[in-house]
Amino acid sequence: MQLINAHISYYRSIEDSDRLDVEPDVTCLVGKNESGKTTVLQALYRLNPVESSAKFDEVLDFPARLTRRRKAFPAGQRIPVVVATFRYSDEEIADIEKDLGAGALRAPQITVTLGYRKNARTIEHSYDEKKIVEHLRSNLDLPSAAAQEVNAAITVSGLLEALDGMEEPPSSAQQLAERIRNWRGESVSLYLIDTYAFPKMPKFVYFDDYDTMPGKISIPVLIRKRDSGELNRGEQALLSLLSMAGVEPEDFHDTDQHEHLIRELENSGNVISDEVFDYWTQNDQLEVKLNVLPVEQGAVAPFDEGPILQIRVYNQRHRASVPFDERSRGFVWFFSFLAYFNDLEEAATNDLILLLDEPGLSLHGRAQNDLLRLIDERLAPKHQVLYTTHSPFMVAPDHLERVRTVVDHDKVGTKVSSEIFKADSDTVFPLLTSMGIEMTQTLFVGEHTLLLEGPSDLIYLDVLSDQVEARGLEGLDPRWVKTPIGGSGKLSTFVTLLGANKLDVAVLVDSSTKDVGAIKHLRDNDQLAANGLIEVSEFTGTADADIEDLFERDFYLDLVNRAYAKQLNNAITASDLNTKDPRVVRQVEAYFRKHNIAGGKLDHFKPAAALLRQQHEIFARLPISDATIDRATQLFTRLNTLLS
């Protein structure tokens, strides 16, 4: 059975939430602090909590601003707080139809209502009682006189009355009558609730960022709190860890068994740790260890009663351990949640709906991505998950259909909406930030990123790759995402950032690039692959070269003449340049300064733009040379060998 939607009213900051549509796998509630996200989860949790939960309190929970409206409700009348719609699974529908006949339910949904004044849930089905009666009597073999009255019944109560009115009912009629009398209230509605709705309704599990296991606890105190029902969620997580090991707190009173218990607990801790490290990529050098300690001299409550169970986290890298609750809060949350959840999942006979309140609040951005992966790969395939967040790293940009905005409006209270971009700018800020991060990583960079100094480099590579492939040779592999970063001085920064993002990065630079020394330093420190720095001079046979030097000198001069036709009185020729300089760009720049063309400055992009716009005309008049094709092919082969 799945939760489809819910409507919450008159609860704390919520006056009328509007309908909350719930996804079959993951639903993300996004909103500012104090917008009412936690209130939504807590209201849902009370529908069918996995643990004992507080009831709705009319005085404490009804919105204070609406006290007059509350008092206007007639005495004894239920005030609905949560109205939720669930849908039976196909297997559950098949079971119902096998029991009560095809078409017994008019719709596969049920409506569950919970509110003030009457704490019991009400559950409503839409069913066809006439078809149910027809199915119930279908196996009866009755004499014609009795069959007439039984066949005339269209309600269960009418059917039971007809069966009871028979003078000599056959055994099949007696068994059917007895079966109906065993239904609570002899009612189809109550029978469906008792047999199907209530047993199949998912259990709600609530867990927030503060529900973490303690670093140590007094075993006698743990036992008393368990027996009195006063355990907090973190202590319950610890009890879950004991349960996974098959250990009861009372077992620790037997001092002869301590070593055995510790080994069992360590085994359970290792099971949870292994699962944590399937998703926790921040540090895989951690181990969870448990100790049983005596009471320290002068200890104060609650640690003045022994034995004391202590949980420690051992860091293999630093060869030292610290108390569990002094470790990174993110790791503590991960471990505590999985310990609590795994025990619940193992014992559960119902589906679970997980309500995670601000999960990953204390996690680094990349660790929050780990948590999203945990939700998608470990939790969602088996259970529905609803979680709240205001972090952009907890919003999956490729799953915006999961997002519901939560906004606290003046005068009307908290509203939940699927129309995410109708919310205010503060509420949608995490969504926009998440989309920005995704665009940055997919539009401009990719898994294999080739950093270029400027857009002219990109144009030249694209055109050359087309020309090389047109001759049946190897062009630039399309897996390379060519990323011009707008200046040579930014290259080392981009290498550092993208390398930290676990991307394959290569850098194509001119020999004169000012940043090339810094990039070599990054390469030497393993932040760039050993062969990831490619200098154009490797393919020109000169000590100094720009990407323009892949072309023949006359070909590039033709591009310059086209780009600056309006500023040039006469076309530039090779005889006008200082041919002793190996770099054609520097030769042209010197000519521009000498003759004050375009203010004495050559715009590197203009010749490239001319090539892009007029390449068919250019190549028809001045075909690209074999030497250029050879240099370009060597470059592309060199780059492509860097790809796995």
Reported as a pLDDT band with limits 50, 70 and 90, residue 313 is confident
Distance CA 291, CA 311 (A): 6
pLDDT of residue 472: 94
Length of the chain, in residues: 644
**45 Cβ contact list (under 8 Å, min separation 6):** 53, 204, 206, 355
Distance CA 169, CA 147 (A): 11
Is 90 exceeded by the pLDDT of residue 99?
yes
- Together in a domain, 52 and 114: yes
* Residue 84 and residue 90 in contact, taking contact as beta carbons nearer than 8 Å: no
Distance CA 69, CA 22 (A): 29
In a domain, 382, yes or no: no
- Together in a domain, 57 and 198: yes
Is 90 exceeded by the pLDDT of residue 325?
no
The residues pairing with 28 across neighbouring beta strands, listed in sequence order, are: 387, 403
Is 60 exceeded by the pLDDT of residue 251?
yes
**563 Cβ contact list (under 8 Å, min separation 6):** 603, 606, 607, 609, 610
- Together in a domain, 178 and 48: yes
What is the span of the domain harbouring residue 263? Answer: 209-349
Distances (CA, A) of 83 to 24, 62, 79, 418, 537: 18, 16, 11, 18, 71
What are 385-417's pLDDT values in tens digits?
999 998 888 988 778 889 999 999 998 999 999
- Together in a domain, 143 and 221: no
Rounded to an integer, the average pLDDT of 246-260 is 77
In a domain, 558, yes or no: yes
Is 90 exceeded by the pLDDT of residue 369?
no
- Together in a domain, 174 and 227: no
Distances (CA, A) of 531 to 448, 498, 520, 523, 641: 14, 16, 10, 8, 9
* Residue 362 and residue 330 in contact, taking contact as beta carbons nearer than 8 Å: yes
* Residue 17 and residue 414 in contact, taking contact as beta carbons nearer than 8 Å: yes
- Together in a domain, 177 and 232: no
In a domain, 88, yes or no: yes
In a domain, 365, yes or no: no
pLDDT of residue 580: 84
In a domain, 576, yes or no: yes
Distance CA 206, CA 186 (A): 36
pLDDT of residue 437: 60
Nearest by Cα to 625 from 572, 527, 531, 556? 556
Residue 279 CB neighbour total at 10 angstroms:
18
pLDDT of residue 498: 62
- Together in a domain, 230 and 259: yes
What are 160-204's pLDDT values in tens digits?
999 998 888 889 999 999 999 999 999 999 999 999 999 999 999
Reported as a pLDDT band with limits 50, 70 and 90, residue 509 is confident
Phi/psi of residue 328, nearest 5 degrees: -45, 125
> Residue 505 has what DSSP assignment?
E
Question: Model pTM?
Answer: 0.70
- Together in a domain, 191 and 235: no
Residue 445 burial by Cβ neighbours in a 10 Å radius (0-12, 13-18, 19+): buried
Dihedral of CA 480/481/487/490: which sign?
Answer: negative
Average pLDDT, the chain: 87
- Most trustworthy range by pLDDT among 448-452, 588-592, 618-622: 588-592
In a domain, 426, yes or no: no
Domain end residue (candidates: 300, 330, 349): 349
Dihedral of CA 407/413/415/421: which sign?
Answer: negative
pLDDT of residue 182: 96
Percent of the chain predicted with pLDDT > 90: 49
pLDDT, greater one: 113 or 448 = 113
pLDDT of residue 625: 92
Peptide bond before 170: cis, by omega within 30 degrees of 0? no
Distance CA 186, CA 175 (A): 14
* Residue 480 and residue 635 in contact, taking contact as beta carbons nearer than 8 Å: no
Distance CA 206, CA 387 (A): 10
Distance CA 233, CA 45 (A): 14
pLDDT of residue 527: 60
- Together in a domain, 528 and 566: yes
- Together in a domain, 612 and 558: yes
3 state DSSP class of 644: coil
In a domain, 340, yes or no: yes
- Together in a domain, 152 and 248: no
Distance CA 252, CA 352 (A): 32
Domain end residue (candidates: 299, 329, 349): 349
Nearest by Cα to 1 from 287, 205, 198? 198
Rounded to an integer, the average pLDDT of 263-280 is 76
Measured CA angle at 244 (ends 242, 246), to 5 deg: 70
Reported as a pLDDT band with limits 50, 70 and 90, residue 446 is low
Is 60 exceeded by the pLDDT of residue 501?
no
Reported as a pLDDT band with limits 50, 70 and 90, residue 443 is very low
pLDDT of residue 541: 87
- Together in a domain, 524 and 614: yes
Nearest by Cα to 591 from 618, 573, 611? 573
DSSP string for 516-530: HHHHHHHHHTTSS-T
What are 135-168's pLDDT values in tens digits?
999 988 887 777 888 888 999 999 999 999 888 8
Distance CA 38, CA 44 (A): 10
3 state DSSP class of 246: coil
pLDDT, greater one: 577 or 53 = 577
User: How many domains does the chain fold into?
Assistant: 3
Residue with token string 């090779």: 574
Least confident segment among 124-128, 520-524, 539-543: 520-524
Distance CA 464, CA 442 (A): 24
pLDDT of residue 521: 65
pLDDT of residue 438: 58
In a domain, 406, yes or no: no
Domain end residue (candidates: 310, 334, 349): 349
pLDDT of residue 639: 92
Least confident segment among 107-111, 258-262, 445-449, 476-480: 445-449
pLDDT of residue 520: 67
Amino acid present at 179: R
